Amino acid sequence: MGELADFHIDVLKEIGNIGAGHAATALSMLLDKPVDMLVPEVRFLPFEEIASCVGGPEEIVLAIYLRVIGDAPGNLFFILNVNSAKSMLKDLAGMETTEDDSLSEMELSALNEIGNILAGSYLSSLADFTHLSMSPSVPALAIDMAGAILSYGLIQSGEMGDQALLIDTKFLEGSQVINGHFFLIPDPGSFNSIFAALGVDIR
C-alpha cells in the first residue's frame, strides 16, 4: 500500500466524496432536512492503528459493524464516540437525548438506521466505481471499548486484512461539526481485487 501514488489515493477520496454525497441525500430524505457532509481525509493505515484513530483501544465508542459480501469481501466499521453520537441524534435528527452517556433503545435504533444508510452509501459508491459485486450484511451496533469492538469483528469474520482504508467523515449542521470514521478492512486479497478493478496493479 505504501507504493500507491497520490493519484490512487485521490481516486479513493473521490469515491468517498461520492459516497458522502449519496449518504447526505439519503439522510436528508430520512430526516426531512438538509444534511451536509465532507470527506476531509482518506488514507491507508495498519490494522493495529485503527483504535488509536478513535481515542485508543480503551476508548468507549459506538460502532456500526457489517460484513461486505461479494467479489471483495471484508469488514466495514462506522465508529464515533458517544458524544458525537448524541450530537448526531440531537443536531441532525432533532431527538431529545439524555445528559449522561447512556443511550435509549430509540436512540440506538435511530443510530443503527443512520449508520446503515451511511455504510450502504459508501459501499454502493465503491461498487459502482469498481463494477464489483459488494453488498452489506445486516448491520450490528455495539457500544464498547474500541479494541473490543475490533476484536469482535475479527472473531466474526474469521480473518481480517492487515490494512484498513480510513474515510474520515464530517457532518455539518450550522456551526456544529460531527466527526465519524469509516474503516473498510478487506479480507486478505480483496484490496488487490478492488485496485485491479480500478486499473491499478499492486504487487
The DSSP secondary-structure symbol of 93 reads: S
pLDDT at 157 over 60: no
Measured CA to CA, the distance from residue 61 to residue 84 in angstroms comes to 9
In a domain, 129, yes or no: yes
List Cα–Cα distances, 130 to 4, 17, 23, 106, 178, in angstroms: 17, 15, 19, 36, 29
Average pLDDT of the chain is 81
173 or 165: which leads in pLDDT:
165
Element (H, E) at 193: helix 190-197
In a domain, 203, yes or no: no
Measured CA to CA, the distance from residue 195 to residue 14 in angstroms comes to 14
Q: 1-15, 71-85, 108-122: which has the minimum mean pLDDT? A: 1-15
C-alpha cell at 20: 458522502
In a domain, 202, yes or no: no
**Residue span of the structural domain in which 96 resides:** 6-197
pLDDT at 62 over 70: yes
In a domain, 91, yes or no: yes
pLDDT at 2 over 60: no
> Residue 70: which pLDDT band, with cuts at 50, 70 and 90?
very high
In a domain, 63, yes or no: yes
pLDDT at position 201 = 64
C-alpha cell at 110: 435511530
> Residue 69: which pLDDT band, with cuts at 50, 70 and 90?
very high
pLDDT at 174 over 80: no
Q: What is the CATH number of the domain that holds 148?
A: 3.40.1550.10
Neighbour tally for 110: CB within 10 Å: 20
pLDDT at position 133 = 92
168-203 core/surface letters (b: 16 or more CB in 10 A; e: else)? bbebbbeeeebbbbbbbbbbeebbebbbebbebeee
In a domain, 140, yes or no: yes
> Residue 145: which pLDDT band, with cuts at 50, 70 and 90?
very high
150 and 80 in contact (C-beta within 8 Å)?
Answer: no
Residue with cell 463494477: 131
User: What's the total number of domains in the chain?
Assistant: 1
pLDDT at position 187 = 84
In a domain, 104, yes or no: yes
C-alpha cell at 104: 435509549
